[in-house]
């Protein structure tokens, strides 16, 4: 597996300005992984972070890390984002405490991988709930606040939402991530009259604690996937967050309804895995 060169490491350092000074950025799933990376990065850009997670300890650790870096974050856990009552109550509390919502980054999610014939109806419904409901409910209940601020929404798709896979059996995950990409376009249409921009980032293979535990684990059919990626390496959370920050910021003021592939070119070439 190709590693990043010293030059690549320098080039991949994120630009940090103050594009979100005084803005409130709501991020779901801040207990670790991509959500934690997003909280740290948006806070470095001047944002006040409102996060949530099911994991109390992880969420508290993220708050400590943001504050240690000089940022400000409030967080709540556990919050079950597949429950409409809990989701609504949390977002009402965020707006009451911080006065506004400028950005919603719907990062949280959970999935299961299985081939079609081995996917039970219960598993199918679990994935739909934890990859579609978990996006729909926060967007729905943040929408009124976003209308007031002419805010921005970032959804998280995947290469799974635009391509099939020969090595990763994921019928439910493919359906939900395709749904997120489609939701992006509809929400962009519905939000336009209020100045709300809605965009999607679709990561390819990214090295996180979750992928290290399954897709990139020893013995996985995906372990050698880097050789199929044009840039010949696995992505990093920061490389995904860089794109989310851009799309959420005023630098992307004329961009809405977009699905930005963040995959090292993986989805652009054949054959893919």
Q: How far apart are CA 116 and CA 9, in angstroms?
A: 39
What is residue 6's predicted lDDT score, i.e. its pLDDT? 34
What is residue 215's predicted lDDT score, i.e. its pLDDT? 64
DSSP class of residue 47 equals P
Residue 257: inside a domain, yes or no?
A: yes
DSSP three-state, residue 179:
helix
Residue 102: inside a domain, yes or no?
A: yes
pTM, rounded to two decimals: 0.89
Domains of the chain: total: 1
Residue 256: inside a domain, yes or no?
A: yes
Structure confidence at residue 135 as a pLDDT band (50, 70, 90): very high
C-beta separation of 262 from 239 below 8 A: yes
CA 236 to mean position of chain CA atoms: 13
| CATH number assigned to the domain comprising residue 103 | 3.40.50.720
> What mean pLDDT comes out for the span 111-133?
95
C-beta separation of 139 from 106 below 8 A: yes
Q: For 28-51, how does the pLDDT look when each residue is reduced to its tens digit (9 = 90+)?
A: 999 999 999 999 999 999 999 999
**Phi, psi (deg, nearest 5) at residue 114:** -165, 155
- Angle between the 121-128 and 171-191 helix axes, to the nearest 10 degrees? 30
Residue 85: inside a domain, yes or no?
A: yes
Query: Best-predicted range by mean pLDDT among 163-177, 227-241, 250-264?
Result: 250-264
Residue 51: closest CA among 69, 63, 65:
63
Comparison of pLDDT for 168 and 222, the residue scoring more: 168
Q: For 155-188, how does the pLDDT look when each residue is reduced to its tens digit (9 = 90+)?
A: 999 998 898 888 788 999 999 999 999 999 999 9
C-beta separation of 157 from 109 below 8 A: no
Residue 5: inside a domain, yes or no?
A: no
| Residue where the block lists tokens 């199918």 | 124
Residue 242: inside a domain, yes or no?
A: yes
Domain region containing 33: 19-110+136-164+175-204+235-263
Residue 256: closest CA among 169, 211, 195:
195
What is residue 81's predicted lDDT score, i.e. its pLDDT? 98
Q: For 63-88, how does the pLDDT look when each residue is reduced to its tens digit (9 = 90+)?
A: 999 999 999 999 999 999 999 999 99
Helices (H) and strands (E) in the chain — how many of each? 9, 7
């Amino acid at each position: 597996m190709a590693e990043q060169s010293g030059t690549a490491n320098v080039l991949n350092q994120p630009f940090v300005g103050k594009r979100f000074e005084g803005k409130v950025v709501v991020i779901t799933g801040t207990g670790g992984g991509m959500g934690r990376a997003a909280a740290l990065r948006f806070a470095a850009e001047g944002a006040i972070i409102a996060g949530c997670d099911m994991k109390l300890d992880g969420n508290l650790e993220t708050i400590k890390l943001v504050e240690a870096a000089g940022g400000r974050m409030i967080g709540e856990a556990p919050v079950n984002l597949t429950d409409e009552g809990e989701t609504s109550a949390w977002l009402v509390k965020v707006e009451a405490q911080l006065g506004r919502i400028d950005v919603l980054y719907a990062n949280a999610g959970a999935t299961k991988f299985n081939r079609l014939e081995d996917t039970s109806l219960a598993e199918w419904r679990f994935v739909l709930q934890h990859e579609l409901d978990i996006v729909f409910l926060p967007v729905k209940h943040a929408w009124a606040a976003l209308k007031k601020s002419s805010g921005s929404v970032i959804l998280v798709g995947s290469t799974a939402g635009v391509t099939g896979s020969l090595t990763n059996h994921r019928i439910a995950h493919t359906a939900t991530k395709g749904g997120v990409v489609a939701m992006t376009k509809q929400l962009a249409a519905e939000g336009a009259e209020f100045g709300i921009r809605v965009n999607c980032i679709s990561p390819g293979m990214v090295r996180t604690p979750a992928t290290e535990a399954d897709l990139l684990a020893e013995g996985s059919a995906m372990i050698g996937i880097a050789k199929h990626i044009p840039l010949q390496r696995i992505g990093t959370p920061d490389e995904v967050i860089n794109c989310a920050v851009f799309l959420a910021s005023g630098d992307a003021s004329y961009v809405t309804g977009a699905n930005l592939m963040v995959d090292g070119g993986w989805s652009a070439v054949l054959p893919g895995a």
